[in-house]
Amino acid sequence: MTDSSGYRIGIDVGGTFTDVVLISNETGDVSVAKVLNRHDDRAETVVSGIERLLGEADVEPADIDWISHGTTITTNAVIERKGARTALITNKGFRDILEIGRFARPAELIYRVHEDKPTPLVPRYLRLGVSCRVDRHGDVVSELDELELAQAIAAIREEGVESVAVCFLFSFLNPSHEERVRESLSAALPDLDIVLSSEILREFREFPRTATTVFAAYVAPVLRTYISDLVGRLADSDITCPLYIFQSNGGVAQPDIVMRNPALTLLSGPAGAVVGAAQLCGQAGYRDLITMDIGGTSLDVCLIRNSVAEATTTREIDMFPVGIPMLDVHTIGAGGGSIVRIDDVGRVKVGPDSMGASPGPACYGLGGEQATLTDINLLMGLLDPTTFANGEVPLDRARAEAVVASEVAGPLGVDVNAAAIGVYAVATNQIAEAIRTVTVERGSDPRDYALVAFGGGGPLHAAAVARELGVGQIIVPRHPGLFSARGIATADFNHDYTQSVVRPIAEVSADEVNAAFTALEGQAANDLDAEDVPTDRRALAPALDLRYLGQTTEITVPLTGAVAVGFDDVVGQFHELHERLYTYGVPDEPVELVNVRLRAVGGVDKPPLRPAKGAGKAPEPIGQRPVLLPDVEGVQPVPIYRRDQLAPGARLGGPAIIEEASSTMLVLADMEVTIDRFENMIITLPPIGQSS
Amino acid sequence: MSVDAFTLAVVHSSLIAIARDMKIMTMRTAYTQLWKEQGDLSCCLMDGDGEIIAQDPNGFPIHVTTMPLQLQGVVEILGRENLCPGDVLATNDPFIGGTHLPDVLIARPLFYRGEIYAFACNRGHWADIGGMGPGSYSPATSDIHQEGIFIPPVKLFEAGKPNPGVLEMIMSNIRNRSIGFGDLRSQYASCETAERRLDALIERYGFDTLKAAMAEIIVRSEQMTRASIAEFPDGDYHARDCLDGDGRTEDKIWVDVKVTIRGSDIVVDLGDSSDQATGGMNCSYSAAASAVQYAIKSITDPENPPNAGSYKPITVKTRPGSLVDAQKPSSMVGFGDVCYRVLDATMTALAGAIGDRAIASGSGSTGTAVVAGRQRRSNGDHYFTTIELSSGAYGGRATRDGMNAIRYGPGNAGHIPIEADEIENPLFFEAYEIVPDTGGAGRYRGGNGFVRAFRVMSDRAQICLCADRHETPPPGLFGGEPGATSRYVLNPGTNNEQVLASKTPYIDLDANTLVRVQSAGGGGYGDPLERDPASIADDVKNGYISEEKAVAAYGYKKAARL
């Protein structure tokens, strides 16, 4: 574990930049480096960032005792189809499960009859069937055909396959055939990556299990090569402390453990910021949060309850399911670069298409000729053209005005100001709908949460979104740009273990469930031992996935007490949760136990968060500029403040614009801003009903 | 009152989100495999006149576009003045505008200051509605009464209070009441949630704005569709296609489509189609119109969310008493397959006008195979019903091959995962994969169909088929070849082999019978000899086509292989 005199490093690889943070374990002081990605050499990017930081902070390599690394390398390999040459072994007669999927078309294709589903990661000639079969009780019905297996191995050798996914029906109940395949394959081809579905996802439903296993196999060689490359480069720079990998469940793990299931890193990109928000806001006393992260192309929202981000097992990449537990980050295509256009019959469309960073919004002056949300925000006066992105991207207001006039205002026959205000309202509604999806549709009331806004665009829209949702408080943390890297640096170890049962709970004995938990606890103990987590920092969270017998979607119910005494408590909680989520519970209906789940958390010491020393000086605006406010007619002079001039205890009322290096906060008229002792900006809305 | 473009965009996307969440909620809480795994239900918000405003993006066109006439019929029969807040209405009456009896429409009228301004609607395919056999899917039903319980427009709930007599009457006539109750609960709970969301929308934007936006949504979609139709050359176009039999006889029955395009209007006349079938291969006017509407929506405005406006430029004419406008007491069990034929023939007729936007016919059937019966369990005997959907492949398109093994057309039910099927039902699968060479050859070939083969382990099970494309293959387009026909066999390759007709009423199965259901393939698009040699080689390597077929259909030479 960490030494109080040492330092830890968090690494967050984004689309364009890699953020590296260095945190003192003793003081909690943070320094940061932003490095432009070198796409040909990711490890080099990371190491150069670390070296730069160490030099600037005058810290010796030997004083680094911890590195946590979030990476998008696996997600990108999937999206760009640049993973390993992968084969899939299935039961004979079932090789096309990956291609057929759910058989129904995804919603996007129902009317778009000229479009295709994304291509499977394994082409059909590398999907190989081998005769063998286990039934629904886990009993072997027919033995593995060794001759067919030998033929499959020969094909794998001949085709130069690098990685193999193995997924047999009911292997989550009896993995013996999958294990036998691995034994033969690794004997024949020792360098091959081999991934078994029974070790990736011990749950029923063959399509999500197959797809997840294929993802894991497809990215395994990519991730392994990268990690070993990085470890080598770090050693060259005399950095030999442990390296941990950040996963999409919001925790870190040792590379060996992640390599057992490399799919754990998929979609981990937005999770770092969620973990950072939960931690930093938690330390400041806010535990129930909705995170709202708006970047250049997308909006990510996530619900955090009592400092724990909500999890899900139903996320997808390219319409293929990734069935492992991940933070439930809901993403929609609404960001600064989202294109605003008017269709042939005068309907307003915002996103999901984006101009990205290059050529980007028209106001960047890099050749973008479509109106984007950033152009709208500039026209409203929310952005300062000279200080945007720290002054690195000067904005051209005339271009924004011309493009909004020709693409939006002209077709609608309104003036540019009306167009800007209107588009802002449409974007506000889209963001609010995304938040309703993670709250109202999952049985939560957004008014019970504080909204945490970050990313370049989050604070620009937060006030209007909060008002629409009836949220009472907005938090804009200090240095939101570092959230993700910081969250990764201080994330706990986190491992999830599952065993499918799929039987009515009345037919399952407490002994059987306890035995399942004992087995899962054994796996957890092995992993946490390997990570040197002290026993007193280990927390095991057992849970049961339950549903009414006959339903298909499970509700995960945490187990608070021992099950030795029976299931009455947990089943009672299930009925209540069902009512909260779906408006009704049916206490006299039989309940089915689908999965036994165990989450193992290894607590990591958190660097202290030191209250800032502050003078309670009354804040002075640095000036004012004309702004189109979403709720006021006409252009108003609005005072402008610099965030770094606002000390703890400072208070000011809206309307106001508060600028910092990476983002701009819009405060509306009836809202009040205070800076708390950790330098978080807290915006309080008037109680509902008193709003002007 | 008019609504500005921005408020319109905001209200429109919120209404779609409400409809989407209704379906998600129903699937999460449903009991039947058909909904929870296969998603065979659809949700929609309609205005006070019963016109579609917003549908769930995952909704099935055939479910949604048949709702308006059926809902309007319900309101007329019950009397608008007799509806009150908290009511839950239900019907499965196909003659006022529905599909078949298993599809039950649940609707909740939504009031504002005494006025019905909207309906929250949920149509789901119930796994059983009574009738001749479990799963209620016999194609040999000679009248609607054999199909199952006929639910005329009724109030399941009146002013928020359940109507126990009606509920009990329905549940007593279906085979698995606990599934029925669970599903019904999930249907009406979703309507209740929609009502709360709409109340919040009124609070935010005001009632007048909401109403104006609802009207405007329809107007804009109609304009969009008209602009697209106006690009097609005026003219008269014709095509016909057939079904293998009417459910009781093996005589071909024909769907005849005459399309007239004038300016921004399309008239589709199905009047010369065959007389209504003596068996279950019929559909209502509303269902036939729905298939036409789907075909035209997919070629005029595939990008935008559909609503009533998308269909206003389309007039569908039928002859009452024909198979596409069947009259009482005809059975409508096989409406889905009839609608596939209406879709295929409409698309083929339109091909002359729309060129590259046309696609060749897909596998052309719902491929419905119901396996049902009783199974012994530790706590007694249970009914089981599983509905296998053994059809799916796209026809070839102007720039792409047809997709393999996927649903096409106005329905979109999926498959039950094999593991879920085996856990719940006494089935044991031996194959589920793509069948090579079943897609028709073409410059862009038709998608290959697939096979599902399973043993039925119960000694008291039956099978029933209500499918098609068993004798007449899906035609190709612009010189493409037809796809392979479908095939349904019991115990293939044994002394007991039995090839089944695509319409097979319930027959008993011996324990351990192997059932093999194979879909048709899609038709090809364009001359096969114009196919890119690299695509042919790729298909051969991947086993999508055999080398023999490559040589025979495409003049493929092995030497040319990459």
Per the omega criterion (within 30 degrees of 0), is the bond before A359 cis? yes
Cβ atoms of B392 and A101 closer than 8 Å = no
Cβ atoms of B88 and B155 closer than 8 Å = yes
Nearest CB among A169, A421, A582 relative to B28 is that of A582
Q: How far apart are CA A208 and CA B519, in angstroms?
A: 24
Instruction: Check if B417 contacts A (Cβ < 8 Å).
Output: yes
User: Which has more pLDDT, B538 or A562?
Assistant: B538
Cβ atoms of B279 and B140 closer than 8 Å = yes
Q: Which helix (H) or strand (E) holds A636?
A: strand A635-642
Is A209 found in the same domain as A92? yes
For residue A577 the two structure tokens come to 């949760």
Cβ atoms of B207 and B112 closer than 8 Å = yes
Contact B28 A135 (CB under 8 A): no
For residue A493 the two structure tokens come to 């170890």
Q: What is the pLDDT of residue A94?
A: 98
pTM attached to this predicted model: 0.92
Q: What is the CATH number of the domain that holds A105?
A: 3.40.1360
Q: What is the share, in percent, of chain B residues with pLDDT greater than 90?
A: 79
The ipTM, to two decimals, is: 0.95
For residue B163 the two structure tokens come to 């109507």
Contact B433 A94 (CB under 8 A): yes
- Tally the domains of chain A: 6
Q: What is the pLDDT of residue B562?
A: 45
For residue B210 the two structure tokens come to 């909401």
Q: How far apart are CA B518 and CA B392, in angstroms?
A: 10
Query: Which residues between 339 and 378 in chain B have a beta carbon less than 8 angstroms from any beta carbon of chain A?
Result: 357, 359, 378
Domain residue ranges of chain B, discontinuous segments joined by +: 5-222, 359-531
Is A498 found in the same domain as A485? no
CA-CA distances (angstroms) from residue A610 to A277, A333, A643, B354?
16, 37, 18, 69
- A 10 A CB-CB count for B269 gives 18
- The answer, yes or no, to whether residue A465 has pLDDT greater than 80, is yes
Query: Which residues between 479 and 538 in chain B have a beta carbon less than 8 angstroms from any beta carbon of chain A?
Result: none
Say which amino acid occupies A485.
Answer: A
- The answer, yes or no, to whether residue B77 has pLDDT greater than 90, is yes
Contact A104 B7 (CB under 8 A): no
Q: What is the pLDDT of residue B560?
A: 46
- The answer, yes or no, to whether residue B558 has pLDDT greater than 70, is no
Name beta bridge partners: A674.
A651, A682
Q: What DSSP letter does each residue of A587-601 carry, written as one string?
A: TTS-EEEEEEEEEEE
- The answer, yes or no, to whether residue A361 has pLDDT greater than 60, is yes
Is A161 found in the same domain as A297? no
> How far is the alpha carbon of A56 from chain B, nearest alpha carbon, in Å?
49
Q: How far apart are CA A463 and CA A292, in angstroms?
A: 12
Q: What is the pLDDT of residues B108-138, one digit of tens each?
A: 999 999 999 999 999 988 888 999 888 899 9
Is A379 found in the same domain as A233? no
pLDDT, chain B, mean: 93
Is residue A421 situated within a structural domain? no
Is residue A615 situated within a structural domain? no
Strands (E), A200-285: 243-246, 252-253
| Chain A contact set for B433 (CB, 8 A) | 93-96, 100
Q: How far apart are CA A131 and CA A140, in angstroms?
A: 12
Q: What is the pLDDT of residue A132?
A: 98
Strands (E), B330-475: 368-377, 380-389, 427-434, 450-456, 461-466
What range does the domain containing A284 cover?
271-326+428-489
Instruction: Check if A139 contacts B (Cβ < 8 Å).
Output: no
Q: What is the pLDDT of residue A690?
A: 46
Of the candidates A247, B404, B298, B509, the residue with the CA atom closest to the CA atom of residue A255: A247
Q: What is the pLDDT of residue A692?
A: 39
Q: What is the pLDDT of residues B202-240, one digit of tens each?
A: 998 999 999 999 999 999 999 999 999 999 999 999 999
Q: What is the pLDDT of residues B21-60, one digit of tens each?
A: 888 888 777 777 767 777 788 999 999 999 999 999 988 9
Is A186 found in the same domain as A59? no
Place of tokens 């690889």: A13
Q: What is the pLDDT of residue A482?
A: 76
Radius of gyration, alpha carbons of chain A = 26
Q: How far apart are CA A406 and CA B183, in angstroms?
A: 51
For residue A654 the two structure tokens come to 């809206």
A572 Cβ contact list (under 8 Å, min separation 6): none
For residue B396 the two structure tokens come to 């070839």
* Helices vs strands, H then E, count in chain A: 17, 35
Name beta bridge partners: A316.
A321
User: Which has more pLDDT, B35 or B463?
Assistant: B463
Cβ atoms of B435 and B516 closer than 8 Å = no
Q: Considering only A557-571, A644-658, B468-482, which range has the smallest mean pLDDT? A: A557-571
Q: What is the pLDDT of residue A460?
A: 95
Is A441 found in the same domain as A317? yes
Is A528 found in the same domain as A452? no
Contact B58 A107 (CB under 8 A): yes
Is residue A2 situated within a structural domain? no
Is residue A618 situated within a structural domain? no
Contact A550 B404 (CB under 8 A): no
Measured at the CA of B36, the angle between CA B35 and CA B40, to 5 degrees, comes to 20
Cβ atoms of B88 and B156 closer than 8 Å = yes
Sheet holding A86-91, edge to edge: A127-130, A86-91, A163-166, A193-196
Strands (E), B130-252: 154-158, 161-162, 235-243
Query: How many whole angstroms from its chain centre is CA A633?
Result: 38
Is residue A107 situated within a structural domain? yes
Last residue in a domain, options A199, A216, A233: A216
Q: What is the pLDDT of residue A564?
A: 58
- The answer, yes or no, to whether residue A160 has pLDDT greater than 60, is yes
Is A558 found in the same domain as A581? yes
Is A401 found in the same domain as A288? no
Of the candidates B107, B405, B439, B497, the residue with the CA atom closest to the CA atom of residue A96: B405
A450-454 and A473-476 strand pairing: parallel
- The answer, yes or no, to whether residue B381 has pLDDT greater than 90, is no
**Average pLDDT score over residue span B509-523:** 96
Contact B29 A349 (CB under 8 A): no
Is residue A609 situated within a structural domain? no
Does the CA dihedral A204-A206-A207-A211 come out positive or negative? positive
**Average pLDDT score over residue span A218-245:** 95
Q: What is the pLDDT of residue B286?
A: 97
Place of tokens 């096969």: B528
Place of tokens 């095939």: B487
- A 10 A CB-CB count for A83 gives 24
**Average pLDDT score over residue span A50-66:** 93
Is residue A51 situated within a structural domain? yes
A191 Cβ contact list (under 8 Å, min separation 6): none
Q: What is the share, in percent, of chain B residues with pLDDT greater than 70?
A: 98
Is residue A332 situated within a structural domain? no
Task: Assign A368 to helix, strand or coil.
Answer: coil
- The answer, yes or no, to whether residue A193 has pLDDT greater than 70, is yes
pLDDT band at B561 (very low <50, low <70, confident <90, very high): very low
Which of A116, A139, A168, A429 should one mutate to test binding to chain B, selecting the residue with the greatest count of B CBs within 10 A?
A429
Is A87 found in the same domain as A208? yes
Is A560 found in the same domain as A462? no
Is A390 found in the same domain as A348? yes
User: Which has more pLDDT, B468 or B197?
Assistant: B468
Q: What is the pLDDT of residues A487-523, one digit of tens each?
A: 999 999 999 999 888 889 998 998 899 999 999 999 9
Of the candidates B351, B334, B339, the residue with the CA atom closest to the CA atom of residue B395: B351
CB neighbour burial string for B125-146, b if at least 16 within 10 angstroms, e if fewer: bbbbbbbbbbbbbbbbbbebeb
Say which DSSP state B561 is in: -
Q: How far apart are CA A690 and CA A683, in angstroms?
A: 16
CA-CA distances (angstroms) from residue A453 to A125, A384, A677, A679, B129?
48, 19, 18, 15, 51
